[in-house]
Structure 1
């Protein structure tokens, strides 16, 4: 199977420019994974908050007045129609009516799936960070060697990465 990226090559055989490019690519990958992880963490927190709200709904009574959030800063007053059924946003503008138990199960499954994805991303990030350290170490060694060679030849040193 052909090598897929710099982590599969013998790093010592790459020149400093190739190592610097590999380092930038790995850093960009780590940044993308971190952004994805933050998105998944926020999503899991939203489902956890929804699950808590559903649990608290069981303590309420039908007809009880409430403030319904339309946005984060806009609420309208209303009254609770049912404590046994809720509308669940299942994505892309679709809502499904579920019992509170089913809605709690749904939110719990979503949180678990997101947590599994977060854990997987965390493992990938650890691997990428190890690759970054390895590439950085080899790059630093190559730059130091070039600087030594140029100093011995009487030329000005090469700037670092």
Structure 2
């Protein structure tokens, strides 16, 4: 079985309606990638906050009442019974007990993983923006070339 190779088409050969369709598709893709980038940035910020929260746990706070974060804006009082271990959300509703060092390592690995994805996504967004700018320039040139003969007659 042979795989179909993507066919390359010169955008200058397309008419304005086709160029409009391509532009709309590029704008949708760019919007999707931009939204994904923002969501990844938020996730990265949450993991960085987790690293900070883990580092704030001190052995001298054992059996003292502390505020436990349930969300970014909701805290409940609780007692720190074991300052050397924390419960870590590893995803899809699963939690494991880890030492503070293991938890920090886990969250730092998440931050680094997201950083590499952000870098890749940023490159993709830049390429899409360049493609969109090129397409807009081609559309403007076609519009000018279509309106130029009508002015001279």
- Shorter-chain TM-score above 0.5: yes
Q: Distance in 1 between matches of 2:70 and 2:107?
A: 20
What's the RMSD between the two structures over aligned residues? 1.5
| TM-score, normalised relative to structure 2 | 0.90
User: 1:16-53: CA deviations, max 9, x gaps?
Assistant: 11111111111111111110000000000000000011
Secondary structure of 2:76's counterpart equals strand
- Give the match for residue 12 of structure 2: 12
Equivalent residues in 2 for 1:21-32 (5 A)?
Answer: 21-32=21-32
- Give the match for residue 67 of structure 1: 67
- Give the match for residue 6 of structure 2: 2
Equivalent residues in 2 for 1:6-155 (5 A)?
Answer: 8-58=8-58, 60-153=60-153
Bigger mean CA offset, 75-84 vs 65-74: 65-74
Bigger mean CA offset, 61-70 vs 15-24: 61-70
Change over 3 Å in CA distance of 1:11–1:74 after alignment to 2: closer
Secondary structure of 1:90's counterpart equals strand
Q: Distance in 1 between matches of 2:91 and 2:46?
A: 13
1:59 Cα deviation after fit:
5.8
Q: What are structure 2's unaligned runs of at least 5 residues?
A: none
- Give the match for residue 159 of structure 1: none
Q: Distance in 1 between matches of 2:96 and 2:118?
A: 26
| TM-score, normalised relative to structure 1 | 0.86
Q: Distance in 1 between matches of 2:31 and 2:136?
A: 16
1:150 Cα deviation after fit:
3.1
Tell me how many residue pairs correspond in the alignment: 149
